Amino acid sequence: MHAKRMKIIDPPDWKRPKGYSNGILCPPGGSLLFISGQVGWDKNEQMQEGFLLQYRQALGNVMRIVMEAGGAATDITRLTFYVVDKREYFTHIIEVGKIYREIMGKHFPAMAVLEVKSLMEESALIEIEGTAVIY
């Protein structure tokens, strides 16, 4: 994380969150990047098969957008995961963590995971949106 640019906000008397931060404070001077919901398809809109492959592709798509804007994983301040089956997410939580660290390293922005009835893309099992501040 850009130590002089962003500050993790986790109240010291709270239990430390696992795999995310409660808040990220960004001083002035950065450019905000709002990342639309990304599903598990490639650049040709070919959907990957299965939850883990879609998760890897969707998170990779988020990173591709951040990098295209001149940023890095450490510039991401917020991620929201929309899953159609939270049981599938928890069943694969170890693999989810490994894939996350492969793509994002040990950077843990503010995050939320929501179970939704469905996504706009019928075959999508997960959608990820985010925000980054690029300096």
Domain borders along the chain are 17-134
Q: What is the mean pLDDT of the chain?
A: 92
Asked whether 111 and 80 are in contact (CB, 8 A), the reply is: yes
Structure tokens at 97: 């963590």
DSSP 6: -
DSSP 10: -
Question: Which CATH superfamily groups domain 17-134?
Answer: RutC-like (3.30.1330.40)
Taking the CA atoms of 84, 86, 90 and 94 in sequence, report the sign of the dihedral they define: positive
Whether residue 3 has pLDDT greater than 60: no
Per the listing, tokens 């959608």 go with 127
Whether residue 1 has pLDDT greater than 60: no
Expressed in angstroms, the distance from the first to the final Cα of the chain is 12
